[in-house]
């Protein structure tokens, strides 16, 4: 490890945030009942019993605890017997659930494409009572199902007492101090869910999802940093994450799409090739938000290197290699070349702007010399004579429109007209999730369509709230509530970082409006 990398890791370690720890008790007991009209076909109904006065439980008895809102933390409880002894070990089964379906739909036989171990079920066995039980893992949940397993009914019964969760996050659980700026009641509900999503993903880094994957991804980081900039303002965490990515780059300088913190920070060996480009945009945002030009100067070469590598990958026709992973969006069948061209150009523009601010123009001379060529190729290849963004096959997508608009390949007038037309085209490929939807809204704001962006935000993210969610999920398809990239919706992350940005749009909007 060279001296620069060692120093970057030391900087990141010094910025590691202490976690706020707050004890939260369950608010009520609930049951889950089938309802075809409810989200994913399941509805939660309140039970009459108080969670503080649970009856004694025999074998097979179960209870579902509702903690009132999405939480991230560790569960603790005390287990006692109705006798002075127990004649066998005690076994409890726990299921931690972000949504009701996880409580009632069987996990096995497992059909997912990721590890079964991401599903949050545990069986705990202990030998004697009373017993103070503290589950060692951190869970992401709103509901907890506890079932008594293997206790002979005639032998003894057990009581579950003092159930609580030690919630952990880099910011406090109480969101009230950050919500007051949102004046409209409907917007407040979206803002609260947005802040709750961000809060629960803010651990010692900006995680993508506290249930799954618990990693730091560049794509999520940029969006979390935007939401953080108008709310919690923990810029120390953004700086920490930037230095971590710089420190774990591979030998040629390319930063990975994601990294792990434990047992020490290391490269996640995953390369969604559009993500490294976003390092430049995230660094530029950070310097704009904080004025920390020293960090900008130190990490600018890292940002520039990502773009040099990506531009250098192009073939003789100027296209990016199709055999690599370009994320852009979950939508199947999406043709990504115009999106990648637009994204890279936008990130080059952000790097150039940052370099000018920092007085480091010499660092970006090569990028600046390539910009005209990049723009010409994108314009000729992906903009029709009618100024409609499309691929050579003729596919029209919101994704291509968003990134060619962000890159200013389409003029504001062209982008406004193109978006009006795209909305009427049945064949236009829609966004496949909240990540791309964010960039569609950011593009709309950039061309002066802020009210239209807010209307789309209220419709799309508001639909998540109307479905009963209190945080924003990784995947959201209004036509398929169980859509999943992983083979089963039970693996989906229902509190996910890249979905937290409505608070950013709302804050920007409210700053431009007089108080009501």
pLDDT-derived band at 198 (thresholds 50, 70, 90) equals: very high
pLDDT at res. 23: 98
Average pLDDT of span 35-49: 95
Question: What percent of the chain is predicted at pLDDT more than 90?
Answer: 86
Q: What is the pLDDT of residue 152?
A: 66
What pLDDT, on the 0 to 100 scale, is given for residue 387? Answer: 84
Task: Identify the domain boundary among 169, 192, 221.
Answer: 169
Residue labelled with tokens 């900039």: 229
Which pLDDT score, from 0 to 100, does residue 515 have?
Answer: 43
Is the residue at 4 inside a domain?
no
Tokens of 331: 């939508």
Residue 240 lies in a domain: yes
Q: What pLDDT score does 276 carry? A: 98
Domain-embedded: residue 348: yes
Q: 277 and 256 in one domain?
A: yes
Looking from the CA of 103 toward its CB, the CA atoms found within 13 Å total: 26
Q: Percent of the chain, pLDDT > 70?
A: 96
What is d(CA 253, CA 367) in angstroms, rounded to the nearest whole number?
16
CATH code: domain of residue 74: 2.60.120.260
Does residue 398 share a domain with residue 277?
yes
Asked whether residue 191 falls in the same domain as residue 128, the answer is no
Tell me the mean pLDDT in the region 240-267.
Answer: 97
The Cα 113–Cα 98 span in angstroms is: 20
pLDDT tens digits, residue range 483-505? 999 999 999 999 999 999 999 99
Q: Please check whether residues 263 and 295 belong to one and the same domain.
A: yes
Cα separations (Å) of 452 from 227, 445, 446? Answer: 20, 8, 12
| Same domain membership, residue 210 and residue 98 | no
Give me the count of residues in the chain: 516
The answer to whether 346 and 407 have CB atoms below 8 angstroms apart is yes
Instruction: Decide if 306 is inside a domain.
Output: yes
Q: pLDDT tens, 270-318?
A: 999 999 999 999 999 999 999 999 999 999 999 999 999 999 999 999 9
Q: Are residues 456 and 362 in the same domain?
A: yes
With 0-12 / 13-18 / 19 or more C-beta atoms within 10 angstroms meaning exposed / middle / buried, residue 430 is middle
Helix/strand/coil for 307: helix
What gap in Å lies between CA 450 and CA 464, rounded to an integer? 21
Q: Which tokens sit at 182?
A: 């949102």
Q: Would 452 be classed as within a structural domain?
A: yes
Q: What is the mean pLDDT of residues 67-76?
A: 98
Rounded Cα–Cα distance for residues 302 and 219 (Å): 16
Of the residues 139, 169, 199, the one at which a domain ends? 169
In a domain, 15, yes or no: no
Q: Are 505 and 477 part of one and the same domain?
A: yes
- Give pLDDT tens digits for 97-113: 999 999 999 999 999 99
SS3 track for 319-372: CCCCCCCCCCCCCCCCCCHHHHHHHHHHHHHHHHHHHHHHCCHHHHHHHHHHHH
Calpha distance 49→475 (Å, rounded): 34
State whether 299 and 191 are in the same domain.
yes
Say which residues have a Cβ less than 8 Å from residue 252's Cβ, sequence separation at least 6.
309
Query: Could you tell me the strand order of the sheet in which 266-267 lies?
Result: 216-217, 258-260, 266-267
Same domain, 254 and 141: no
Instruction: Tell me which residue range forms the domain holding 396.
Output: 176-511
Asked if residue 9 is part of any domain, the answer here is no
Yes or no: say if 475 and 463 are a contact pair by the CB < 8 Å rule.
no
What does the alpha-carbon distance between residue 343 and residue 280 come to, in Å, rounded to a whole number? Answer: 11
| 206: pLDDT strictly greater than 60 | yes
| Residues 259, 216 contacting (CB under 8 angstroms) | yes
Among candidate residues 111, 106, 137, the one with its CA nearest the CA of residue 122? 137
Q: How much is the pLDDT for 183? A: 58
pLDDT of residue 510: 67
Res 329: pLDDT: 98
- CATH number of the domain to which 492 belongs: 1.50.10.10
Whether residues 286 and 373 share a domain: the answer is yes
pLDDT computed for residue 20 by the predictor = 98
3-state class percentages of the chain: helix first, strand second, coil last, to nearest 5? 40, 20, 40
- The whole-number pLDDT of residue 514 equals 44
**Does the pLDDT value for residue 369 go beyond 60?**
yes
The predicted pLDDT at position 154 comes to 59
Find the mean pLDDT for residues 236-252.
98
Return the SS3 of 264. Answer: coil
At 328, is the pLDDT very low, low, confident or very high (cuts 50, 70, 90)?
Answer: very high
Q: At what angle do helices 412-422 and 434-446 cross, to 10 degrees?
A: 140
Dump pLDDT digits (tens) for 391-401: 878 999 999 99
- For residue 512, the model assigns a pLDDT of 54
Residue that finishes a domain, picked among 147, 169, 191:
169
345 and 376 inside one domain? yes
In the predicted structure, residue 50 carries a pLDDT above the cut 90: no
pLDDT digits (tens, 9 = 90+) for 219-229: 999 999 999 99
Q: What is the DSSP letter of 491?
A: G
The answer to whether position 7 is within a domain reads no
Q: Out of 85-94, 318-327, 360-369, which region has the weakest mean confidence (pLDDT)?
A: 85-94
Count how many domains the chain has: 2
Mean pLDDT calculated for residue range 345-355: 98
If one counts every other C-beta atom within 10 angstroms of the C-beta of residue 193, the result is: 26
The tokens describing 251, both together, are 């030998």
Q: Do 423 and 403 belong together in one domain?
A: yes
């Amino acid at each position: 490890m060279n001296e620069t990398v060692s120093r970057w890791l030391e900087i990141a370690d010094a910025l590691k945030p202490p976690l706020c720890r707050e004890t939260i008790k369950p608010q009520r007991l609930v049951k889950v009942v089938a309802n075809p009209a409810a989200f994913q076909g399941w509805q939660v109904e309140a039970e009459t019993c108080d969670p503080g006065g649970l009856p004694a439980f025999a074998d097979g008895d179960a209870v579902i605890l509702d903690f009132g809102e999405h939480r991230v933390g560790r569960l603790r409880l005390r287990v006692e017997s109705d006798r002075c002894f127990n004649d066998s070990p005690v076994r409890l089964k726990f299921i931690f659930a972000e949504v009701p379906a996880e409580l009632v739909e069987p996990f096995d036989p497992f059909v997912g494409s990721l590890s079964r171990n991401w599903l949050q079920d545990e069986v705990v066995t202990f030998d004697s009572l009373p017993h103070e039980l503290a589950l060692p893992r951190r869970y992401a949940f709103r509901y907890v199902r506890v079932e008594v397993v293997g206790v002979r009914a005639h032998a003894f019964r057990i009581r579950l007492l003092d159930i609580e969760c030690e919630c952990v996050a880099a910011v406090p659980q109480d969101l009230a101090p950050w919500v007051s700026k949102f004046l409209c009641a409907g917007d407040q509900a979206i803002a609260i869910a947005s802040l709750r999503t961000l809060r629960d993903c803010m651990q010692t880094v900006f995680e993508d999802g506290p249930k799954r994957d618990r990693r730091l991804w560049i794509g999520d980081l940029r969006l979390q940093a935007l939401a953080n900039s108008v709310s919690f303002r923990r810029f120390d965490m953004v700086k920490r994450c930037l230095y971590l990515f710089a420190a774990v780059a591979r030998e040629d300088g390319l930063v990975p799409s994601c990294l792990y913190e434990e047992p020490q920070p290391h490269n996640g060996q995953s390369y969604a090739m559009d993500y490294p480009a976003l390092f430049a945009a995230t660094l530029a945002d950070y310097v704009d938000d904080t004025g920390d030009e020293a960090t900008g100067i130190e990490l600018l070469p890292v940002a520039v290197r990502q773009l040099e590598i990506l531009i250098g990958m192009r073939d003789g026709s100027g296209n990016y290699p199709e055999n690599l992973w370009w994320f852009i969006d979950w939508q199947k069948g999406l043709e990504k070349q115009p999106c990648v061209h637009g994204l890279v150009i936008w990130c080059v523009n952000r790097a150039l702007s940052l370099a000018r601010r920092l007085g480091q123009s010499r660092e970006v001379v090569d990028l600046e010399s390539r910009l005209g060529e990049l723009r010409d190729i994108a314009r000729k290849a992906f903009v029709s004579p009618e100024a409609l963004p499309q691929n050579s096959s003729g596919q029209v997508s919101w994704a291509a429109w968003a990134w060619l608009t962000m890159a200013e390949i389409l003029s504001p007038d062209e982008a406004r007209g193109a978006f009006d037309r795209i909305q009427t085209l049945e064949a236009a490929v829609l966004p496949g999730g909240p990540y791309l939807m964010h960039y569609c809204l950011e593009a709309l704001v950039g061309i002066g369509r802020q009210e239209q962006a807010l209307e789309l935000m209220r419709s799309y993210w508001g639909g998540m709230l109307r479905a009963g969610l209190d945080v924003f999920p990784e995947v959201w398809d209004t036509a398929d509530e169980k859509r999943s990239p992983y083979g089963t919706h039970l693996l989906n992350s229902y509190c996910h970082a890249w979905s937290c940005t409505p608070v950013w749009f709302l804050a920007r909007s409210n700053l431009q409006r007089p108080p009501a």
